[in-house]
Structure 1
Amino acid sequence: MDSEATNKILIFGGTGYIGKYMVKASVSLGHKTYVYARPISEKTSLSKLQLHKEFQSLGVIIVQGELDEHEKLVSVIREVDVVISALAYPQVLDQFKIIDAIKVAGNIKRFLPSDFGCEEDRVRPLPPFDNFLEKKRRIRRAIEAAGIPYTFVSANCFGAYFVNFLLRPYDQPDHILVYGSGEAKAVLNYEEDIAMCTIKVANDPKMCNRVVIYRPQKNIISQLELISLWEQKTGRTFKRVHIAEEDLVKQAETLPHPENIPISILHCIFVKGEIMSFELDKNDIEASKLYSDFQFSTIDQLLDIFLSDPPRPASAAFE
């Protein structure tokens, strides 16, 4: 692969929750960056319009189109070297359309599908979440079968999103909900770091046809440890209100789709500790050891961001 600065990167879902971080990271690392986005219409939100303007001010090339416009997809893909999909849950299977276009274009050096969560090939959560992950597994297998050069990224938990969700810093609560015992270990990575590292691995020849897992040692933490750290930083004390595992399992079984998916995700990550349930072996690549010029923000540093200028809670659902 050519040097990083010469690669052109196309991002699908670039106006979404994690996608916007990917776009900004790509630009900051000197790549000519393209975003494939839905056409602007009367239904386009003000926040999306503002994001379009921000991207354009950064020199991002925005291609407006739908995912079923095959010829347009092929045309824009032929203009770039690397394709990254950050499409959210409802559009996971739409990535088959991207795969078809990549096969026709025939020029892509690397494709990163929309993973960026837990390592779907190595966890088996409750059925609602597992059914969602099975769609991602189907995309992975299709990429492999097509012989498309890939990197699969398992970034684990979006740090700012889950700090917002678990600690509710805006609400100033006197209690904090704890799922299960609160002792299961999770991995919380700051979204800006996930994006920056993803752009780096997308352009790293050594990461071709590999799975990269984002598991920095200092970002492994339990709910109870996170609450204690937050108490130390705020000088407050919070009552811990535990939600029993059986209650979460029952909700996952009885809530309608897709409301049962977030409950199943909470059970997977914070009750069963699935994302830390397997050891990394010699074939696994752990991202925090890859680049000497890049360091993941620690959870301690992430909480400092909330104390100084808290990120607003994400409107996106679990991705």
Structure 2
Amino acid sequence: MASPPKKTLVFGATGVIGKYIISGLIDDKASFEKIGIFTSPATVENKKDEIAALKEQGVEILVGNVEYEADVVKAYDGYDTVISALGRSTILLQIPLFRLAEASPTIHTFFPSEYGTDIEYFPITSPHEKPHQLKLQVRKYVREHIRKLNVTYLVTGPYSDLYLSAQTGDFERAGSFDVKSGKAVLLGDGNGKVSFTSMRDVGVLLVAALKTPVQGSPKTLKVNSFTATPREILAEFERQTGKSWSVGYTSLEELRRLEGDAWERGDGTRYTLRRIWTEGGTLYAERDNGSVGEPGVETLEGQVRRAIEKQEGRG
């Protein structure tokens, strides 16, 4: 069994979910000997305040080009764990990151960018979903080429912060909770359960996984904050706002049509993911929170409260 992760290096730390991952590490920095991020010169220039804040909190800033092997090899030196939070458009850059980590004398643990829907949940249909293709290529590479590394896929389901938000334009029909107008658009019949993880909890659960020995590699951990139906979410919005909302529904049939139209226009990823969630694509037989020590996670009530505060300009 590999030694516990103590020196963690994060790629994509200033991105959408990377911010929460690095925050989770910093919040529990006493458990780690060293925390670093690998970032580009452009990010250092464009996000000066964010980078400065990370430095002040003891994070090592390693600057380079993720596509230059020499920069990555140099960054790996002195670290034992790689955490990737690379975005969807750069997912395939993880393949050379894996190759170089496998050859590294110090790296023994790798958490790739898997946060979100389980891309192998439905054996027959999942391999054909368009948004899954790049992550599937990474998993294929891991199965065929990685022997030394301890690899863990942290599967979280959809981010509740985004699902519980107000949508505009055509995308409103793909689900929306609009506090100001008191209007909701529910997917399916509103009774389909969806397993959610808050973005904050992605960081919390990842840190918990780092601190918990996991047998087997590659290992998939399916974790979440809470499970709820669209109707249950709406009921909580109504309870906290103290009023009844107007409600519309988008059936699965209509959602599939919207999805097809979006792909014809260029990119239907957001529609495809919401269709997968509505079909039950996040309802795992059991969650692995207990396997990583059952860390405290957010509730539906707390997430709705945050959504209301954000939409009212108080969060």
TM more than 0.5: yes
User: Deviation of residue 24 (structure 1)?
Assistant: 1.4
Q: 1:243 aligns with which of 250, 253, 261?
A: 250
Q: 1:180 aligns with which of 177, 182, 188?
A: 188
For the 8 Å contact 1:124–1:130, the answer to whether it is kept is no
For the 8 Å contact 2:119–2:127, the answer to whether it is kept is no
Q: Deviation per CA, 1:73-103: give whole Å up to 9, x if none.
A: 0111122111010111101111112112212
Letter in 2 for 1:274: G
The equivalent residue for 1:38 is 40
SS in 2 for 1:26: helix
Q: Using the alignment, how far apart are the partners of 2:73 and 2:204 within structure 1?
A: 26
What's the TM-score, normalizing by structure 2? Answer: 0.85
For the 8 Å contact 2:212–2:293, the answer to whether it is kept is no
Q: Using the alignment, how far apart are the partners of 2:43 and 2:213 within structure 1?
A: 39
The equivalent residue for 2:96 is 97
SS in 2 for 1:194: helix
User: Deviation of residue 125 (structure 1)?
Assistant: 9.5
RMSD: 2.7
Q: Using the alignment, how far apart are the partners of 2:126 and 2:50 within structure 1?
A: 36
Q: Using the alignment, how far apart are the partners of 2:106 and 2:239 within structure 1?
A: 52
- Size of the aligned set, in residue pairs, is 298
What's the TM-score, normalizing by structure 1? Answer: 0.84
The equivalent residue for 2:169 is none
Q: Using the alignment, how far apart are the partners of 1:306 and 1:36 within structure 2?
A: 31
The equivalent residue for 2:270 is 262
User: Deviation of residue 123 (structure 1)?
Assistant: 3.1
Letter in 1 for 2:273: I
- % identical equivalent positions: 16
User: Deviation of residue 234 (structure 1)?
Assistant: 0.8
Residues 1:152 and 1:273: Cα distance change in structure 2 (over 3 Å)? same
User: Deviation of residue 188 (structure 1)?
Assistant: 1.8
For the 8 Å contact 1:126–1:268, the answer to whether it is kept is no
Letter in 2 for 1:158: Y
For the 8 Å contact 1:183–1:222, the answer to whether it is kept is yes
The equivalent residue for 2:171 is none
- Confirm whether residue 211 of structure 1 aligns to residue 220 of structure 2: yes
Q: Using the alignment, how far apart are the partners of 1:111 and 1:128 within structure 2?
A: 23
Residues 1:245 and 1:124: Cα distance change in structure 2 (over 3 Å)? farther
User: Deviation of residue 128 (structure 1)?
Assistant: 11
5+ long unaligned stretches in structure 1: 313-319
Letter in 1 for 2:303: L
The equivalent residue for 2:154 is 153
Q: Using the alignment, how far apart are the partners of 2:312 and 2:18 within structure 1?
A: 16
5+ long unaligned stretches in structure 2: 167-174
SS in 1 for 2:243: coil
Residues 1:117 and 1:311: Cα distance change in structure 2 (over 3 Å)? farther
The equivalent residue for 1:80 is 79
- Confirm whether residue 305 of structure 1 aligns to residue 306 of structure 2: yes
Q: Using the alignment, how far apart are the partners of 1:3 and 1:120 within structure 2?
A: 27
User: Deviation of residue 37 (structure 1)?
Assistant: 1.2
- Confirm whether residue 252 of structure 1 aligns to residue 259 of structure 2: yes
Letter in 1 for 2:87: A
Q: Using the alignment, how far apart are the partners of 1:97 and 1:177 within structure 2?
A: 42
Letter in 1 for 2:271: I
For the 8 Å contact 2:176–2:186, the answer to whether it is kept is no
The equivalent residue for 2:280 is 273
